[in-house]
Amino acid sequence: MPAKTYDTIAGLRGALYARRAAGAGLSVGFVPTMGALHEGHVSLVRRAVSENDITVVSIFLNPLQFDESADLDSYPKTLDADVRLCGEAGADLIFCPSVREVYPDGASTRVEMDGPTDVLCGKSRPRHFSGVLTVVSKLFHIVEPDAAYFGEKDAQQLAVIRKLVRDLNMPVTIVGCPTVREADGLAMSSRNTHLNADERKAATCLFRALAAAREKLGDAAARSGAPRGEGEWASLAAKVADAARAVLDAEPLARTEYVELLDAETLAPLNDSSKAALCAIAVQIGQTRLIDNMRFSLDG
């Protein structure tokens, strides 16, 4: 059956109700997107299709999560191609509502979170995560999925959504899916289409910087074993971030916004109970802001 598209909440809910009624216990997988789909999104849809009876994809460019209107205006819009890709990947239902449908006049409730929303991207984009949490909460209420699929490329987004679901007891399993990369390591992103040829070459510095971080962490662990206490963890985090920063600094077209090594679950500074570290990077290349990350297990 080809994917059906709905632009109203009532239409999507009606279709989901009918599909769920067709069989007891049918599971619903959900992939929220903002469109401009690429192989990374397709991998999320395929995973949802393989693990659920019904797969819903939303395509909604959420104005609430853009701190700057220029960023929203320049976001690529490719709805027809997106719908085709979702159908080819096996999605059953596609939800592509208008801004008015999601935020009718008078909608002023916002979901806010303290802690992991204030670090990394949250420092330069103070309203971004509240916008993400608000729309994701609304979409979860509309779709009522059993599982929702998010890319690990947006590691901070994934961490705050996991916390949202825990903090508000939402009955949905959050599934993180591996970053899909180009052959030269560049993480797939809807924003990559903004890069010109020189910028595209320069953009490989993010993956190279993460590889340098991985090497530095490995060397440090081999030389002095596991750090103990706040001071040793902070010194390790600084050394690893410096190794990554050196690679970014050597790229003339790149302007580094941040490079940090944090606890992968809490996004707090590393400490004796951290199980994994996240090296996260944000870089401006020309007019395009790119992010990437790598996760390192600290077990053993």
In the residue annotation, 41 being an active-site residue is answered as yes
- Strand, helix or coil for residue 73: helix
By beta-carbon proximity to ligand PAF, the closer residue of 121 and 244 is 121
Q: How far is the CB of 42 from ligand PAF (least distance, A)?
A: 14
**Tokens representing residue 139 in the block:** 């979409």
E strand intervals along the chain: 4-6, 28-33, 54-59, 93-95, 147-151, 173-177, 254-263, 276-285, 288-297
Q: Are 44 and 56 in contact (CB under 8 A)?
A: no
Amino acid at position 114, single letter: D
| Binding site residues, ligand PAF, CB under 6 A | 32-34, 62, 65, 132, 135-136, 154, 157
Instruction: Report how far residue 115's alpha carbon sits from residue 209's, in angstroms, rounded to the nearest whole number.
Output: 26
Q: How far is the CB of 190 from ligand PAF (least distance, A)?
A: 8
By beta-carbon proximity to ligand PAF, the closer residue of 178 and 218 is 178
Q: How far is the CB of 34 from ligand PAF (least distance, A)?
A: 4
- Catalytic residue of the set 41, 128, 141, 194: 41
Residue reference for tokens 């992939």: 31
By beta-carbon proximity to ligand PAF, the closer residue of 62 and 117 is 62
Q: How far is the CB of 2 from ligand PAF (least distance, A)?
A: 23
By beta-carbon proximity to ligand PAF, the closer residue of 126 and 218 is 126
Instruction: Report how far residue 213's alpha carbon sits from residue 300's, in angstroms, rounded to the nearest whole number.
Output: 18
Question: What are the residue numbers of the active site?
Answer: 41
